[in-house]
Chain A
Amino acid sequence: MEKQFRKTKMKSRVCWIVAIILALAALASAVLPFFFMVINSFKGKFEMLTKGVFALPDKLNMNNYQEVLSGGFVRYFGNSVLVLCVSLLLILFISACAAYPLARFKFRLNGFIYSTIVACMAIPIHITLIPVFQMTKSLKLYDSIGALFGPDVAFALPISVFILTSFMAGIPKEIEESAEIDGCNKYRMFFTIMLPLAKPGLSTLAIYNGVNIWNEFSFAYTLTQSPKNRTLPLAVWDFQGQYSMNTPMIMAVLTLTVLPMIILFVFAQDKLVKGMTAGAVKG
């Protein structure tokens, strides 16, 4: 018995050592590219080539950052913030409006409308790219920030409605019932009771959609052209044309684009992780 016990203990210790070695390898591969990006963003153009890519920079050289920030980066950042705020408000309001009747009302088309909206989750955006491009041109919205709101909001809606409907269906009905007896109509009920109660669901959705819109590339790339109207994911694209051989400069641009996410991660890790995986509720 004693021998048997010792044997399993040995075996489990070996297992742990192997597991820890593999974990460290995974750690290195997850962090190394990130490390590469950050340390090289502080180097001079030739410093990286002469000293090697993994060497620490001589000093915290902020020149790259200064140049990027004075070279129009702020404009991209501002555009992204604008697109984010407007789209997010619209998404949250419209999807809450849709989720309320889908979760609460009894009417004939309920099931049909719900499954149609949910089915839209699987549609690849590329099937809509050419028609939306033509539409944007004929509405004279091409190459303006205004062109991005519609597609950004529309493609966020199916999953948002899906998540919010199941969230609202989980809210107890008692408050509404007593409000209804007091003569509250459906519209007032939505604004005064449902919206406040749905706040946790809305905040998860805000993070999920916020991250997606912040990173959105296809529509922004197709529907805008001039740097003054482009969003952050395209900043790298445009800067690359300017500094293609200057790796540290590109790394500085990349680090700056990731910075908001890092700040969010440091201060609200749990919320961010929960929000980012909200879309994965179901297959």
Chain B
Amino acid sequence: MKNQSNTLSGRRQRSTNIAAFVFLLPVILLLTVFIFYPIVDSFIISTYKWNGIAAERTFVGVSNWKKLIGDRDFWFAFRNNIIIMVMSIIIQIPIGLAEATFIEFAGKKATICKVLWFIPMLMSSVAIGFLFTYALAANGGMISAVSQLFGGGNIDLLGNKNTALMTVIFVIAWQFIPFYMVYAMAGYTSISEDVYEASLIDGATKSQYFWRIALPLLMPTLKSAAILSMVGSLKYFDLIYVMTGGGPGTATELMATYMYKNAFAQFNMGYGSAVAAGMFILITLLSLVTMRAINGKKEEE
């Protein structure tokens, strides 16, 4: 070791190591303080009964975790997350792909579509949540207005237990379809122009080009879109918290909203942390399984 540090290359490696340390220090510090430490701390807090305000907290061991495993509301929230995840993938990605394909085939004439279809992405989740709270309101909302046009009464989509979740899913779709459109458009630009021209020369129609050539080439893009959508749906919070607060009842409750309510509305920090940690474990497991499934398939190919 001593020998090595005296040689020129050894000294150079040491100065590289020091420089790397200096450059990486801020990032390591911030991630430790705001991500790694809080994750550990969440698991610690989850073993206490604590209102978050009092200095004293009582150690309760695994009782919060036992409660979590038997908590029907939590598992119902998880179920809602899964429904939103599946529906998001089924609705958003095909529509986004269809829009991108339309723009790809229609060319310059479809610029106006490209611009207007992108509009929902300009709004934040919170703004969208509020906009639709009012736009879908029973009194003075858009849907009620249309219904009245046909002689119907007011319709309260968000206030009805049976329609609330579906309605929320459509609002989320409204928000994210443009994202997958842009994503698919980027996929199209990576297909070389030659491929398109060659298929036209060979006499392929546009629909043949899409199904037989473009779609298989876009598959990797669509797969990563599905992963993005999956991880995003499991973490979802802002829009639902603003729009329904998880209600009516628990109809649109998600893991994140359930955690937030326990911790910051009922000041049950111990149980809230258990919910957060449970959510963390579930998301990590699901992501790992999906990544492995998709990477495994890659190896087979």
Contacts and interface: CB of A to CB of B under 8 A. Distances in A.
Contacts, number: 242
Interface stretch (B62-70, B72-80, B115-123): B115-123
B276 A33 contact: no
A208 to B, nearest CB: 12
A62 B223 CA distance: 47
A12 B234 CA distance: 41
Which 10 residue pairs across A and B have the least CB separation, nearest first?
A283-B224, A215-B124, A154-B34, A128-B38, A131-B38, A283-B227, A131-B41, A98-B27, A101-B20, A186-B19
A52 B130 contact: no
A254 interface: yes
Interface stretch (B194-202, B211-219, B279-287): B279-287
Contacts of B188: none
A126 B141 CA distance: 32
Interface stretch (B84-92, B155-163, B178-186): B178-186
A150 B23 contact: no
B280 A124 contact: yes
Contacts of A161: 27
Nearest to B137: A247
B27 A95 contact: yes
20 contacts: A15-B207, A26-B113, A34-B119, A48-B140, A113-B24, A122-B287, A126-B237, A127-B38, A132-B38, A133-B263, A154-B30, A154-B35, A217-B124, A217-B238, A217-B242, A222-B264, A251-B131, A262-B122, A269-B115, A283-B291
A247 B119 contact: no
A84 interface: no
Interface stretch (A68-76, A171-179, A197-205, A273-281): A273-281
Contact of B260 (A126, A128, A134): A126
A19 interface: yes
A23 interface: yes
Contact of A154 (B31, B135, B269, B287): B31
Interface in B248-272: 255-256, 259-260, 263-264, 269, 272
A151 B31 CA distance: 9
A153 B35 CA distance: 11
A120 B283 CA distance: 13
Contact of B178 (A30, A53, A155, A247): A30
B140 A273 contact: no
B206 interface: yes
B122 A261 contact: yes
Interface of B: 13, 15-17, 19-20, 22-24, 26-28, 30-31, 33-35, 37-39, 41-42, 45, 52, 95, 98-99, 102, 105, 110, 113, 115-127, 130-132, 134-135, 137, 140-142, 145, 174, 177-179, 182-183, 186, 205-207, 223-225, 227-228, 231, 234-235, 237-238, 242, 255-256, 259-260, 263-264, 269, 272-273, 276-277, 279-280, 283-284, 287, 291, 294
A30 B117 contact: yes
A250 B119 contact: no
Given A27-B117, A36-B142, A117-B27, A105 B19 contact: yes
A22 interface: yes
A129 interface: yes
A236 B126 contact: yes
Contacts of B223: 283
Given A101-B24, A282-B224, A151 B131 contact: no
Interface string A95-129: 10110111001110010010001001011111111
B276 to A, nearest CB: 5
Given A98-B27, A124-B283, A222-B264, A53 B95 contact: no
Contacts of B15: 186
Contacts of A132: 34, 38
Contacts of A34: 119-120, 123
B125 A120 contact: no
Contacts of B260: 126, 129
A68 B32 CA distance: 41
Given A130-B52, A153-B30, A233-B127, 8 more contacts: A30-B116, A34-B123, A97-B24, A127-B38, A130-B263, A130-B273, A215-B125, A276-B121
Nearest to A49: B140
A237 B126 contact: yes
A186 B16 contact: yes
A273 B45 contact: no
B280 to A, nearest CB: 4
Contact of A257 (B124, B132, B284): B124
Given A261-B122, A283-B224, A129 B26 contact: no
A94 B45 contact: no
Nearest to A277: B182
A101 B34 CA distance: 22
A41 B256 CA distance: 32
Nearest to A266: B115
Contacts of A269: 115
Most buried by A among B41, B126, B272: B126
B134 A251 contact: yes
A120 B27 contact: no
Contact of B231 (A122, A133, A153, A262): A122
